[in-house]
Amino acid sequence: MYYDLHTHTCHSDGTLTAGELLSRAQAGGVRVIAITDHDCTDSLAEAAPIAASLGMSLVPGAEISVTWRAQTLHIVGLRIDTDNIALQAGLTRLRQERDRRAHAIAAKLEKSGVRDALAGAARYASGAVLSRTHFARFLVEGGHVRDMRAAFKEYLGAARPAYVAAQWASLEEAVGWINGAGGQAVIAHPARYRLSSGGMRRLLDEFKAVGGAAIEVISGSHGPEDQTRFAALAKRFDLAASAGSDYHGPEQAWIELGRLPSLPPGCVPVWERWGAH
Ligand code: AMP
Ligand code: MN
Ligand code: MN
Ligand code: MN
């Protein structure tokens, strides 16, 4: 597959630098790549000349944290103008919320007998974003848990002892920031949310009403049944379809770069109106 419209670098919770990510993607056959770090666009300035030198097309993106009906959702923005002031003000607010949450997570870990977790997690973060992924790496490396999965299951996941609810952007704000910056808003990895089929329909209705453009039909975390289900929902709600690996690095990959399947027939690709790449 030629396109990969959802990837992370070490500016958020990926492990590769922009250069390492782009080289690896190119070697895997990716030609058009979006870097979509959580609540941050800092890797894009560094990535742009590298992508140009590799002959790849770089789509400026971000994965925005959203709270919708007490649930966390991720909305990917594609082809955003990273100089847009309202967008950057929104992302700054979300990173401040991440910092507040990180202190609260560390305090809860302390109560569970894990000391100095804030400094520990910060050692794994090379950019401005502090993620639960960094706490998870710290817990694994410190021998507190066996692996990343266990870190979320035993400490960091919803309702676990070190879980802290965050107040992210509203759906309308996130889509508004993306559209205001000239981009397209995409619901990331829709199969990962705990929603009934009625809940999913309400989400898609609301997303469409506030100006959302597409959903990830192909995601690194989707199985074949998810692809079929979300292809049908995209069609029904008149949304375009996107494809992204959600790559975070070689040690925690759902799928290797360049191995995404094609969009199912009948989908309208989100890149259809982008022109030649
Ligand atoms: P945050 O946005 O800081 O709350 O962290 C969410 C990130 O944690 C996601 O983007 C994933 O990269 C990672 N994550 C969530 N659940 C798991 C899990 N069960 N195992 C490994 N990583 C996870
Ligand atoms: Mn992540
Ligand atoms: Mn996500
Ligand atoms: Mn992601």
Question: What are the tens digits of pLDDT across the range 33-78?
Answer: 999 999 999 999 999 999 999 999 999 999 999 999 999 999 999 9
Q: Which atom from ligand 1 is nearest to the alpha carbon of 132?
A: 3
Assessment of whether the complete model's pTM goes beyond 0.75: yes
Strand, coil or helix: what is 120? helix
Half-sphere exposure for 130 (CA within 13 Å, toward CB): 22
The span from the CA of 84 to the CA of 188, in Å, is: 22
Verify whether ligand 1 is closer than 6 Å to residue 67 (CB atom).
no
Rg (CA), the chain: 18
Nearest CA among 43, 49, 1, 40 for reference residue 18: 43
Question: What are the tens digits of pLDDT across the range 98-136?
Answer: 999 999 999 999 999 999 999 999 999 998 999 999 999
With the most atoms of ligand 1 within 8 angstroms of its CB, the residue from 15, 118, 131 to mutate is: 131
Nearest CA among 1, 70, 63, 64 for reference residue 36: 63
